[in-house]
Structure 1
Amino acid sequence: MATTEPANLGNSRTQDAFTTARKCVALFGAVGVIVLATVAVMASLGHGTTPFMWIRGALFPAIALVLLRILARAAEGSYRAFDRVRTLSTVMPIAIIGVDLIPGLCPPWYAVLQGLSALALVPVAVLTRGAALSAAFPKPN
């Protein structure tokens, strides 16, 4: 597998795009923590919660940490990491919202909070396909 050196990694537009992407992924994680805390409060008040809600609520903040790590590797010049962030930030919002739309799987308040967290990843998908980052990461041969 051939490696390609990023062309404009030091460019201010590229760095601004990475900074914005980091903030969006951090927001995704923060909303995930809020979802998990809300599930915990609801359970402590005697409202029904499901293992699905607990597991998914715990997974999203963990996924955010992984995405931040991959994003850091991309900012250091890894095309493979950049491609993973680009793919995950595109697929994850669609998958999250798609699962939330399954009738009866989770309460509406949970689906709304999870949907909000998914929306935080949409700007990352846009940024990774934008001019600044596309120029910094030409496709490897």
Structure 2
Amino acid sequence: MNEMTSIGDARAQEAFAAARKYVLLFGAISAVVLGTVAVMALIGGETTSFMWVRAVVMLAIAPLLHRMVVRAAEGSAKAFDRVRALSVVMPIAIIGVDLIPGLCPAWYAVLQGLSGLALVAVAVITRGPAFPRKK
């Protein structure tokens, strides 16, 4: 953040609340992805070790990202900067990997893409009017 934004500012706190909700959505979708991979494995569907590892990692990242948003709302500029960076980098990485032909089935790529969209919303929020840039 910067000197122009007060953590106690109602607009900033509303933005953080929205960001927390989108991070929770990211986590929920990540849990659905992992659950779907497990069900597919149980019924003999197509799963790979890549799908398992990535699903577990994405689910593990969700609480860490949520904690960063909470810390940012409490005034941590370092956490805020990390949330801003991760909310841009992660969707690009998620979608970029999903576009590699033959790496994962379409249903998996779609679900992972949805989780990435939740983080795009966080990127938009953390760059929105609640957090003006210094000039």
TM-score range, shorter-chain basis?
over 0.9
Identify the match of residue 17 of structure 1 among 15, 22, 36. 15
Distance 2:97 2:54 in 1: 11
SS at match of 2:130: helix
Q: Give the whole-Å Cα distance in 1 for the aligned partners of 2:73 and 2:62.
A: 16
| Distance in 2 (alpha carbons) for counterparts of 1:23 and 1:134 | 21
Structure 2 residue aligned with 1:77, among 71, 75, 78?
75
Off by >4 Å, runs of 4+ in structure 1: none
Gaps of 5+ in 1: none
Aligned to 2:105: 107
User: What is the CA-CA distance between 1:131 and the residue it aligns to?
Assistant: 1.9
1:51 and 2:49 correspond = yes
Cα pair 1:128 1:134 within 8 Å, conserved: no
Match for 2:125: what amino acid?
Answer: L
DSSP 3-state at the match of 2:90: helix
The equivalent position to 2:35 in structure 1, one of 26, 34, 37, is 37
Distance (Å, rounded) in 2 between the aligned partners of 1:92 and 1:69: 16
1:95 lines up with 2:126 in the alignment? no
Cα distance between partner residues in 2 of 1:74 and 1:67: 10
What number of residue pairs does the alignment pair up? 134
Q: Match for residue 129 of structure 2? A: 131
For the 8 Å contact 2:4–2:132, the answer to whether it is kept is no
In the alignment, the residues of structure 1 paired with residue 132 and residue 67 of structure 2 have an alpha-carbon distance, to the nearest angstrom, of 20
Q: Please state how far the C-alpha of 1:134 moved relative to its aligned partner.
A: 3.3
Aligned-residue offset at 1:11: 1.3
Match for 1:124: what amino acid? V
Give the distance between the partners of 1:134 and 1:81, measured in 2 at CA. Answer: 17
Alpha-carbon shift at residue 106 of structure 1 (Å): 0.2
**Fraction of identical pairs, as percent:** 64
Deviations 1:43-65 (A, max 9, x none): 00011210000011111111111
